[in-house]
Structure 1
Amino acid sequence: MAAAPAAPPPSSKGSLREDLTCAICCDLFQEPVMLSCMHHFCKACISRYWRGTLGPVTCPQCRKEFRSKQFQTNYLVAAMVDKVRSSSSDTYIRNLEKQLSAALQSHNSRKEDLLCTIRKDRDKMDIIKRVGADLQGCVKSEFRALHQILEEEENHTLDQLRREEAEELEKVQRHLEAAELAVRDLEDNIKLLQQSNITLTEFPQLRTCVEVNVAPDFDVSAFSGKYLAPLQYITWRRMFKALKPGPAALTFDAETAHPSIHVSRDKTVAVECDAMTPQPSNSKRFVQCVNILASQAFQSGRHYWEVEVGSSPKWDLGVASETVDRRARIKLSPENGYWTLRLRNGSEYWAGTQPWTRLQLGSPPQRIGVYLDCDERKVAFYNADDMSPLCLFSKGPRGKVFPFFSPCISENGQKPHPMKLLHGALSG
């Protein structure tokens, strides 16, 4: 007897159940058998259907006649019926409901996470736009101030040029008028002399001619030299004095210096000494750490200064609160009143947070710019050679603060490197 053909894949659970339903009892097959016409019935149903029939029998569906009562058990269909029947059980339904509930909960949770992410992204976009608009306003304001300085310098220079031009023109005009007057007098005298030469009775009374000195040549080079000079550079030097904040002219406060720090006579250079120098004791002096403060203090407004660190392999600098403990060894951190940038091992730059934050710099700066905004509580550090930002403390100090410096202790017999205060961007 031929093997039963494989049943075609159902399109859905509903159509599969219909395919596995007996046409006689209208229920799922019980011991499904297949007639030679390929129709399936329950074994008991087809047996009852043919009972009492003498002679040929027929298929209940297609009415095809068969000479004998023969059918074949279809084990594949029986297995499929078992699967459908088990999938309809209460346990299966409960498990399926649990899976559906878990999947639904997972998708809802994921959806909420994504919606939360979308809200955060939109909030970030709003913040970026708001901050960007504020920053654009600040940038425009700063450049308006520069434009105003430039415009004032331009007007001042043009006024000076016009005044000098008018003065030179006036000089030439006076000499020109004197020369023209002298020419007219001479012409009158010439006429008198010509007339007297005709009559020749007496020497005519001549007019006294105005003496006209030879005017010096106009020195074009001297006149235009100041205006054909490097005018942009000259103007920039003048602008530099009007910058707000302009570079602060700091000096070191020797009374705060650790005994191993030597301060130059002009108080702009601090360097570590080989041996500590006895110093009078006072409450301002650092006695445990090789630190020093500037003489100038700031409590409001915006301020900027520059420090030359050169090739020193180790240093700290920034700002310190007036109230820091100067007699104890304290970690330099905002919690202890210090906002600093530091260098270690010649190439490791760190922001003085707690713990330290490693910074990745493109090139080692030789000069450090420090910007302090007391009102906005910000402390920022820059590579003063190209003004590239190094790090920023957005929660800076409150109250009175001093510029802070530490040349640190030299190691392994290294030569101490000085720290130098620069009194402007043109220094060094």
Structure 2
Amino acid sequence: MAAAAVATSSRGSLREDLTCAICCDLFREPVMLACMHHFCKPCISRYWRGTQGPVSCPQCRKEFSTKQFHTNYLVTAMVEKVRATTSDSYIKNLEKQLKETLERHRLKKEAFINSIRRDKDKMDTIKRVGADLQARVKGDFRALHQILHDEETCVLEQLRREQEEELEKVQRHLEAIELVVRELEDNMRVLQQASADTESVVLTELPQLRPCVHVDVAVEFDINTFSNKYMAPLQYITWRKMFKSLKPGPSPLTFDADTAHPNIHVSRDKTVAVECDFAVPHTDHNKRFLQCVNILAAQGFQSGRHYWEVEVASKPKWDLGVASESVERHARIKLSPESGYWTLRVRNGNEYSAGTQPWTRLQLSSSPHKIGVFLDCEERRVSFYNADDMSLLYSFTNGPRGKVFPFFSPCICDRSQKPQPIRLLHYPSVALSG
């Protein structure tokens, strides 16, 4: 506002400097007299008209012998500029520009204010989600701590019982021996007394003695047998035992041979699937894949949280993930969520992609030999992990609804290479003691 006032004042002062003292208007064809004063050429010509002899300046009254003046082109240009900038059209145009500039600034300010509001909302969301995740992490670790605490309590209680049993055995043997010693001491006193009495009395028979209690030979304490089970790799054994308490624990999946494409061979224990050149004898089923070399697990899920691991080793080509129960089995379908598939795939041994449309290329620092798949039915989340270090590879956040089955495709690989299987990994629990 102050700058505008200064500008207006400056224009007003300039206009005064460029105003003719005769006509009191902006110069028209400005000329300069020898005294350096300016006037309109028509005005000064009219002012001197009819004057004989010397003429004078209308402002300073300085006299000149002749009627001479010089055109001042610089002042002419300045006058034209002032005249242009004070015209109604110029002022209207300037006012329009001011309004437009002000509106642009207002819109920019509004956009930045909205951006600030979004950033603050984002910060609130991050804090809220972070707090929820912290509570979830603490809950998961609290459960793990409880499992370890319960296992530690159980092992220490078992050790205490076995220690007490061994101590009781030794204590009973000790008490029996101490009883025998006391009985022997009693008999020795009787015999000593009888021996002393023989000096004055003829001994005709041995004195009556107490019978000694029979004591079994003490069983040797086998320190190795006692300590071996507690000198075992307890951390590893406990880690194995924790699998049955994990939520979700690793699901012991098996392949559903009735869904296998005819060119997939399934092992007898239903944990290994491998592609083959020839069609395996099979029974026709509506649920069998006929166009794509696919197979499903026998176990399906529609609620809860589930995790399983698949060994792919150095297999150069495969697909795996989850598939809706209703997926088309007899036609060739693109693996995408729109078709009922949430998958991860590899091509050429190291080209990893998530099964979106189009495919999302993944940049991995190393090639996993085992893939972990996590399915959260309530959160509708399907996530893939490098099971060797549990680093996240990709996560679908808009996952399936309804019942789904673990999905696998060993694919048809280069005939020059030996087919490599896909293997379902199981983690049976290990007992701490017999």
What is the TM-score of this pair, normalised by structure 1? 0.86
Matched, 1:247 2:250: yes
Equivalent pairs counted in the alignment come to 416
Matched, 1:165 2:163: yes
Distance 2:227 2:12 in 1: 101
2:128 match: 130
Distance 2:277 2:62 in 1: 122
SS at match of 1:207: coil
Change (3 A) 1:20 1:279: same
Matched, 1:283 2:296: no
Distance 1:213 1:173 in 2: 13
Change (3 A) 1:425 1:377: farther
1:294 match: 297
Matched, 1:339 2:337: no
Distance 1:181 1:10 in 2: 125
Matched, 1:109 2:107: yes
Q: Residues 400-422 of structure 1, C-alpha deviation per residue, up to 9 Å, x if partnerless? A: 22111111112353332211111
Which amino acid counterpart does residue 389 of structure 2 have in structure 1? D
Distance 1:53 1:195 in 2: 185
1:185 match: 183
Q: Kindly report which structure 2 residues correspond to 1:9-158, keeping only aligned pairs within 5 A, or say none.
A: 12-21=10-19, 27-32=25-30, 60=59, 73-158=71-156
Distance 2:408 2:414 in 1: 18
Change (3 A) 1:68 1:199: farther
Give the C-alpha shift of residue 172 in structure 1. Answer: 2.1
CA contact (8 A) 1:321 1:397 kept: yes
SS at match of 1:111: helix
Q: Residues 302-322 of structure 1, C-alpha deviation per residue, up to 9 Å, x if partnerless? A: 111111112121111111122
Which amino acid counterpart does residue 396 of structure 1 have in structure 2? G
Which amino acid counterpart does residue 366 of structure 1 have in structure 2? H
State the percentage of identical aligned residues: 69
1:363 match: 366
1:310 match: 313
Distance 2:221 2:32 in 1: 128
Which amino acid counterpart does residue 83 of structure 1 have in structure 2? K
Q: Which moved more, 1:207-216 or 1:290-299?
A: 207-216
2:4 match: none
Change (3 A) 1:65 1:306: same
- Structure 1: gaps of 5 or more residues: 1-8
Distance 2:263 2:372 in 1: 25
Change (3 A) 1:55 1:10: farther
SS at match of 1:358: strand
CA contact (8 A) 2:272 2:421 kept: yes
Matched, 1:207 2:210: yes
Change (3 A) 1:229 1:13: farther
Give the C-alpha shift of residue 229 in structure 1. Answer: 2.5
SS at match of 2:229: helix
Change (3 A) 1:71 1:191: farther
Q: Which moved more, 1:154-163 or 1:217-226?
A: 217-226
What is the TM-score of this pair, normalised by structure 2? 0.85
- Structure 2: gaps of 5 or more residues: 1-6, 430-434
For 1:321, which of 324, 331, 336 is the aligned residue? Answer: 324
Give the C-alpha shift of residue 215 in structure 1. Answer: 3.1
Distance 2:139 2:74 in 1: 85
CA contact (8 A) 1:247 1:425 kept: no
